[in-house]
């Protein structure tokens, strides 16, 4: 399940247009601390190679076995990853207070099973031929993306960490030219693997590289980025997400204003047959972007909330969405 968490958080892109992005990296080093190994082949990362090799082999097994295998992986993860289970439980209690304890427990179980399935989907997207899966992607609202691209302006595909992220984005990239913004991994073995696995995209953009992102948008590209991450209070506004004040970046509307890009919400989910997926593109409520970045952030969160509520088990509740709190509020995750 660590691989699932890495895979989903890898596409983590909500850059701050006001920040300094000169491309320089200035690490703070301490003479009293051992340097972290950076070569992917270092023995420290052999476990990563072994885990992903095993996952690749499992994903190569007959596809009819995948639903049972994925759900089993999810059940094992739920029983062994106690910290992650606690995070999921807290998120569900905050976001679905109207559900009783038993209903939330059932949702928690379905979520871990869906996360296990996403592991196999990620391996399929990174390591195997996707050609046979092309026809299994159902598209709703594709005309919105076509119309936005036809204007010659860039398109910001405001996405979220739905568990089908890797497989659906890879399949979308086979139909439309697509860039993706991502957060580099601290684990260099995983970083190398994920970059190789994301060869479907026209460009994979480091979330710190604002200049490249803006160049791609101004050149008329469609760019996916995550709009649902907590990056701290400094660059965020606290606006509701499932009724909870959530630190929400204002990058979406600010980038749209700076580049003239159109903004579409990109939602996707695994269908009930477990072997096909649906992606939906739709514009955000007008006017977007508006005059107030805080109001824009609230509009975006409300749209994401409605999307998550349609298939709540398929959202990444494993991450601490409410980690940053307004001044005076207690921490949500112990």
Lowest mean pLDDT among 56-65, 209-218, 223-232: 223-232
For residue 325, being part of any structural domain is answered with: no
For residue 33, being part of any structural domain is answered with: no
In which band, very low, low, confident or very high, does the pLDDT at 40 lie, cut at 50, 70 and 90?
A: confident
The pLDDT value given to residue 294: 94
In which band, very low, low, confident or very high, does the pLDDT at 229 lie, cut at 50, 70 and 90?
A: confident
Tally of structural domains, the chain = 1
Question: If you average pLDDT over residues 159-164, what whole number do you get?
Answer: 96
Contact predicate 45/37, CB 8 Å: yes
For residue 26, being part of any structural domain is answered with: no
Q: State if pTM tops 0.95.
A: no
In which band, very low, low, confident or very high, does the pLDDT at 9 lie, cut at 50, 70 and 90?
A: very low
What percent of the chain is modeled with pLDDT above 70?
90
**CATH number of the domain residue 207 falls in:** 3.40.1130
For residue 10, being part of any structural domain is answered with: yes
Contact predicate 170/129, CB 8 Å: no
For residue 334, being part of any structural domain is answered with: no
Q: What is the pLDDT of residues 49-107, one digit of tens each?
A: 999 999 999 999 999 999 999 999 999 999 999 999 999 999 999 999 999 999 999 99
The pLDDT value given to residue 232: 87
| Mean confidence (pLDDT) of the chain | 90
Residue 22 has pLDDT above 60, yes or no: no
Q: What is the pLDDT of residues 281-326, one digit of tens each?
A: 999 998 999 999 999 999 999 999 999 999 999 999 999 999 999 9
Q: What is the pLDDT of residues 173-209, one digit of tens each?
A: 999 999 999 999 999 999 999 999 999 999 999 988 9
For residue 244, being part of any structural domain is answered with: yes
Question: If you average pLDDT over residues 265-281, what whole number do you get?
Answer: 97
- Measured in degrees and rounded to the nearest 5, phi and psi for residue 269 equal -160, 160
In which band, very low, low, confident or very high, does the pLDDT at 11 lie, cut at 50, 70 and 90?
A: low
For residue 29, being part of any structural domain is answered with: no
For residue 97, being part of any structural domain is answered with: yes
How far is the CA of 324 from the CAs of 19, 248, 330, in angstroms?
Answer: 19, 10, 10
In which band, very low, low, confident or very high, does the pLDDT at 12 lie, cut at 50, 70 and 90?
A: low
Q: HEC states along 270-295?
A: ECCCCCCEEEEEEECCCCCCCCCHHH
Taking residue 176's Cβ as centre, other Cβ atoms within 10 Å add up to 16
Residue 253 has pLDDT above 90, yes or no: yes
Indicate the SS3 state at residue 157.
strand
Per the structure, the complete domain to which residue 192 belongs is given by 2-15+47-314
In which band, very low, low, confident or very high, does the pLDDT at 35 lie, cut at 50, 70 and 90?
A: confident
């Amino acid at each position: 399940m660590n691989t699932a968490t890495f895979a989903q958080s890898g596409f983590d892109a909500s850059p701050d247009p006001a920040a300094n992005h000169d491309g320089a990296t200035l690490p703070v080093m301490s003479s009293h601390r051992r340097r972290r190994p950076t070569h992917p082949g270092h023995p420290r990362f052999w476990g990563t190679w072994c885990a992903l090799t095993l996952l690749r082999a499992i994903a190569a097994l007959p596809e009819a076995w995948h639903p049972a295998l994925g759900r089993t992986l999810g059940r094992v993860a739920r029983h062994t990853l106690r910290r992650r289970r606690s995070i999921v439980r807290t998120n569900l209690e905050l976001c679905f207070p109207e559900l009783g304890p038993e209903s939330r427990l059932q949702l928690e179980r379905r979520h871990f099973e869906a996360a296990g399935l996403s592991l196999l989907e990620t391996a399929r997207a990174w390591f195997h031929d996707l050609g046979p899966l092309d026809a299994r992607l159902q598209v709703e609202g594709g005309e919105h993306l076509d119309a936005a691209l036809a204007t010659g302006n860039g398109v910001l595909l405001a996405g979220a960490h739905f568990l089908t992220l890797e497989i659906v984005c890879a399949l979308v990239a086979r139909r439309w030219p697509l860039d993706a913004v991502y957060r580099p991994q601290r684990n260099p073995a995983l970083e190398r693997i994920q970059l190789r696995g994301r060869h479907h995209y026209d460009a994979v953009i480091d979330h710190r590289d604002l200049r490249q992102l803006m160049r791609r948008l101004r050149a008329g590209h469609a760019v996916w980025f995550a709009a649902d991450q907590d990056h701290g209070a400094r660059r965020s506004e606290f606006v509701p997400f499932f009724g909870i004040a959530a630190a929400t970046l204002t990058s979406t509307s600010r980038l749209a204003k700076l580049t003239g890009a159109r903004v579409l919400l990109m939602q996707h989910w695994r269908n009930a047959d477990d072997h096909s997926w649906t992606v939906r593109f739709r514009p955000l409520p007008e006017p977007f972007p508006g005059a107030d970045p805080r109001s824009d952030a609230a509009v975006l969160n409300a749209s994401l909330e409605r999307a998550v509520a349609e298939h709540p088990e398929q959202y990444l509740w494993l991450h601490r969405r409410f980690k940053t709190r307004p001044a005076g509020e207690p921490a949500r995750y112990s």
